[in-house]
Structure 1
Amino acid sequence: MDQTTTSPQTTHKARSFSFSWAGLLPFLLPILLIAIWQVSVSAGWVDSQLLPSPLAVIQDGIALWQTGELPKNISISLYRATTGFVLGGSIGFILGLANGLSMFSRRLLDSSIQMLRNIPHLSLIPLVIILLGIGETAKISLVTIGVMFPIYINTFHGITSVDPNLMEMGHAYGLSKWEQFTKIIFPGALPTILVGVRYALGVMWTTLIVAETISSNSGIGYMATNAQEFMDMATVLLCIVIYALLGKLSDLIAKALESLCLNWQNQGGASRE
């Protein structure tokens, strides 16, 4: 009876092809949509004044980049986003840490924080403008508020959801409170905290888009609003694409951070075993 044997080289090639195909798979749908978009405009099925072609959007982006307007506004938006994220993330993390670890702090602060969390933060725009004006402080404050609550609730939930059996084991081994925190509580809460970070990044861009379209004279949102007034649809679409790319980049960074931190945690657990 004939037996079919597979050489290691054939298996390696099959795996390489599988991995390369898996890497290309996420790009198939966007490429298909862009191709349909380009063909529809080129064939005249869609009015190019209402929906410019992808090539027109790319050409508009190159022109704005050469004038310096596009890199300037992207850098301003990145500054606002990162500053608000760092401030809001730090506040949310500290409050989640305090309320998760201390029953006194939880009873004192958590109820008030939960009430504030249920207020849509974008509804605070009129109040923020009245109190802080329309400058950088107002925009960064809105991003800070939007980012703070996702990180707070995930940090709080992660810490309070640590397995009690692990805590009892820590007591049995005579671990100090600091050792319990660094070896049991924080590693156990880290996956949930990172989920909050990933969600907060999405809220960050959503908040910034709205903040920059209201009483602003710089940033990507300002570019979109200004282009809308002059019916410059190519620039409007360019701004939308830039926001989408920045959001995707943020998500990739969050995934990389999650992979790095959780890989470190698994390696630490394996070394202890």
Structure 2
Amino acid sequence: MASQPLPRNGDTADSAGRPLGPSDAGPSLVLVDLSRRPGASPARSRFSSSFRLLSRALVPALILGVWQASSDLGVVAPETLPSPTEIISAYAELIRTGELQSAIPTSLARALTGLALGAATGLLLGLFAGLWRVGEELFDAPLQMLRTIPFIAMIPLFIIWFGIGEQAKIALIFGATIFPVYLNTYAGVRGVDQKLIEAARVFGLSHRLIATRVIIPTALPSILVGLRYAAGVSLLALVAAEQINARSGIGFILINANQNQRTDVIIAGIIVYALLGIVIDLVMRVVERLALPWRPSLVLA
């Protein structure tokens, strides 16, 4: 009986011992190098950073160029949409008179006061409803119902309750910022993996330690998302709040500009609102990075 040839290196054999070639062995396995790639050189990193900054500034620069050209060519009337140079002149006028320097701190104080009160209330209610069943039964249904009411619709009621002073403005921002923080806190607490809680119980942690060392740190990303969203909502509510008999702030500048038909000042005030929103969002991003240093930044390309 002739002996069967042994399979060569890289080949396989069937159940009868006959050697199989590479074409008969099915799809071949491919090894993928998963080792960490070396970092880019400093020069290449600087080039990449500069390219990203230029790409971010390209679209705004094109918009400003088209805007200025449309105004210069008379395509858009200056009463409808003033040119960027006219808006810069409006900023120079507001700075020269001191209106802008006094308006920005006033508006920021209103927004941050309402945000602090609303975020603190939403955080406490979200933790109470998420950690204890009695809190859910008491607060979840009323808050879910109230959050569907647009905060702008509450302006007449707030005027009746608080008058036309600062209390009504802060109350409107407060009412608008409760719900984003509450919803994200409640969802973050209820979304904690039950296996983590069971493991904490196995190690003998008390209910207080489970809440402070397991549940709240795990729910922190969701809580910070709610806080970041509430920061943006606070500026939206600020725009509406400063229409209530405003005698200071950016809203006061807009009301005067509307009465005097100063479109350039109106657009300048709107841009200030937008810049405040960008600044607050950047601050919230820094807070997220400081509070969540372990969270990686996942970017595909």
Segment of structure 1 superposing worse, 201-210 or 50-59: 50-59
Structure 1 equivalent of residue 81 of structure 2: 51
Rounded Cα–Cα distance in structure 1 between residues aligned with 2:176 and 2:40: 52
Structure 1 equivalent of residue 188 of structure 2: 158
Rounded Cα–Cα distance in structure 2 between residues aligned with 1:47 and 1:124: 37
Rounded Cα–Cα distance in structure 2 between residues aligned with 1:200 and 1:244: 15
Rounded Cα–Cα distance in structure 2 between residues aligned with 1:9 and 1:191: 29
Rounded Cα–Cα distance in structure 2 between residues aligned with 1:250 and 1:31: 23
Q: Determine if contact 2:169/2:244 at 8 Å carries over to the other structure.
A: no
Structure 2 equivalent of residue 180 of structure 1: 210
Q: Which amino acid aligns with 2:88?
A: I
Rounded Cα–Cα distance in structure 2 between residues aligned with 1:139 and 1:234: 26
1:202 and 2:228 correspond? no
Q: Which amino acid aligns with 2:270?
A: I
More helix by share: 1
Measured against aligned partners, the alpha-carbon deviations of 1:35-77 in whole angstroms (never above 9, x if no partner) come to 2111221222222232211121112112211211111111111
1:30 and 2:60 correspond? yes
Rounded Cα–Cα distance in structure 2 between residues aligned with 1:171 and 1:25: 51
Q: Which amino acid aligns with 2:238?
A: L
1:81 and 2:111 correspond? yes
In structure 1, list runs of 5 or more residues that go unmatched: 1-7, 268-273
Q: Which amino acid aligns with 1:229?
A: Q
The 3 A distance-change label for structure 1 pair 23 and 186 is: farther
1:96 and 2:122 correspond? no
Structure 2 equivalent of residue 137 of structure 1: 167
Larger Rg: 1 or 2?
Answer: 2
Rounded Cα–Cα distance in structure 2 between residues aligned with 1:144 and 1:9: 47
CA RMSD of aligned residues (A): 1.8
In structure 2, list runs of 5 or more residues that go unmatched: 1-37, 297-301
Structure 2 equivalent of residue 250 of structure 1: 280
- Deviation for aligned residue 1:209: 0.4
Of 50, 61, 67, the residue aligned with 1:20 is: 50
Structure 1 equivalent of residue 290 of structure 2: 260
Segment of structure 1 superposing worse, 76-85 or 177-186: 177-186
Q: Work out the number of aligned pairs and report it.
A: 259
Q: Which amino acid aligns with 1:91?
A: T
Rounded Cα–Cα distance in structure 2 between residues aligned with 1:196 and 1:24: 31
Q: Determine if contact 2:122/2:179 at 8 Å carries over to the other structure.
A: yes
Q: Which amino acid aligns with 1:180?
A: I
Rounded Cα–Cα distance in structure 1 between residues aligned with 2:198 and 2:287: 30
Q: Which amino acid aligns with 2:194?
A: P
Of 253, 262, 271, the residue aligned with 1:241 is: 271
Rounded Cα–Cα distance in structure 2 between residues aligned with 1:15 and 1:117: 46
Rounded Cα–Cα distance in structure 1 between residues aligned with 2:223 and 2:236: 20
Of 133, 140, 148, the residue aligned with 2:178 is: 148
Q: Please give the TM-score of this superposition, normalised by the length of structure 2.
A: 0.82
Rounded Cα–Cα distance in structure 2 between residues aligned with 1:140 and 1:187: 30
Q: Please give the TM-score of this superposition, normalised by the length of structure 1.
A: 0.90
